[in-house]
């Protein structure tokens, strides 16, 4: 029985580890999504800067051209840093995913052990119940001696009278 409690506790521990790992995985996914969104926002600012720059050229607007150039240059400076953070976030996400899968596998292995032990306990209980019934039946039949009818007793079992003519029926002896 204590082995079952140990496995139950181990299963609970594995479930907690898996849950913690899942939360960490979700945090890593969220972090990666933030970095991807940041990269997309920087790309949108670059496109806006390019649009402002082209509009400044067409409209002979020196301030518009300068603002467009600044936007494009800022994207050029931010892009390598954001891409580096994205690479780190991807590596962290892959590591967290592997960790989560390892914890899930460990939990499932313990679940298999627990279910096998529960099946063995159920089988043992069934075997013991059957053994108890067998013992009870054995004791019950041992109290009633096996009676083999004698030849002259056979007429009592078949409803014949003592006279042998079969006219009077009697109760059989049990």
- 128 band by pLDDT with thresholds 50, 70 and 90: very high
Across residues 139-165, what is the average pLDDT? Answer: 58
Structural domain contains residue 151: no
Structural domain contains residue 90: yes
Q: Are 75 and 45 in contact (CB under 8 A)?
A: yes
Q: pLDDT digits over 6-50, tens only?
A: 999 999 999 999 999 999 999 999 999 999 999 999 888 888 888
Structural domain contains residue 29: yes
How far are the Cα atoms of 77, 81, 139 from residue 95, in angstroms, in the given order? 29, 21, 66
Range of the domain at 55: 2-115
Structural domain contains residue 24: yes
Across residues 91-97, what is the average pLDDT? Answer: 97
Number of structural domains in the chain? 1
Structural domain contains residue 95: yes
Question: Is pLDDT larger for residue 169 or for residue 18?
Answer: 18
pLDDT computed for residue 162 by the predictor? 52
As a whole number of angstroms, the distance between CA 87 and CA 148 comes to 92
Q: Is the pLDDT of residue 133 over 70?
A: yes
Q: Are 47 and 59 in contact (CB under 8 A)?
A: no
Write out the E strands in the chain. Answer: none
Q: pLDDT digits over 47-78, tens only?
A: 888 888 888 888 787 888 888 888 888 888 88
How far are the Cα atoms of 43, 60, 67, 75, 157 from residue 55, in angstroms, in the given order? 18, 8, 11, 19, 121
Structural domain contains residue 66: yes
Structural domain contains residue 78: yes
- 154 band by pLDDT with thresholds 50, 70 and 90: low
| 37-51, 79-93, 137-151: range with highest mean pLDDT | 79-93
pLDDT computed for residue 33 by the predictor? 97
Q: Tokens 């119940």 — which residue?
A: 129
Taken in order 80, 85, 87, 88, the sign of the CA dihedral is: positive
Q: Are 31 and 89 in contact (CB under 8 A)?
A: yes
As a whole number of angstroms, the distance between CA 30 and CA 20 comes to 15
Q: pLDDT digits over 13-24, tens only?
A: 999 999 999 999
Structural domain contains residue 127: no
Q: Please return the burial class of 25, using the count of CB atoms within 10 Å of its CB with bins 0-12, 13-18 and 19+.
A: buried
Instruction: Identify the helix (H) or strand (E) that includes residue 114.
Output: helix 62-143
């Amino acid at each position: 029985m204590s082995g079952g409690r140990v496995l139950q506790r181990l299963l609970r521990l594995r479930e907690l580890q898996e849950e913690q790992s899942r939360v960490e995985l979700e945090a890593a996914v969220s972090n990666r999504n933030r970095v991807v969104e940041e990269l997309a926002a920087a790309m949108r600012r670059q496109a806006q800067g390019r649009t402002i720059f082209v509009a400044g050229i067409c409209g002979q607007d020196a301030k518009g051209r300068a603002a467009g150039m600044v936007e494009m240059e800022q994207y050029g400076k931010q892009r390598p840093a954001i891409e580096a953070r994205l690479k780190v976030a991807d590596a962290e996400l892959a590591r967290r995913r592997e960790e989560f899968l390892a914890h899930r596998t460990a939990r499932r292995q313990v679940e298999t052990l627990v279910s096998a032990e529960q099946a063995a306990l159920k089988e043992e209980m069934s075997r013991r119940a059957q053994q108890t019934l067998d013992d009870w039946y054995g004791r019950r039949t041992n109290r009633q001696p096996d009676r083999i009818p004698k030849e002259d007793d056979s007429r009592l079992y078949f409803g014949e009278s003592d006279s042998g003519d079969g006219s009077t029926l009697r109760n059989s002896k049990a």
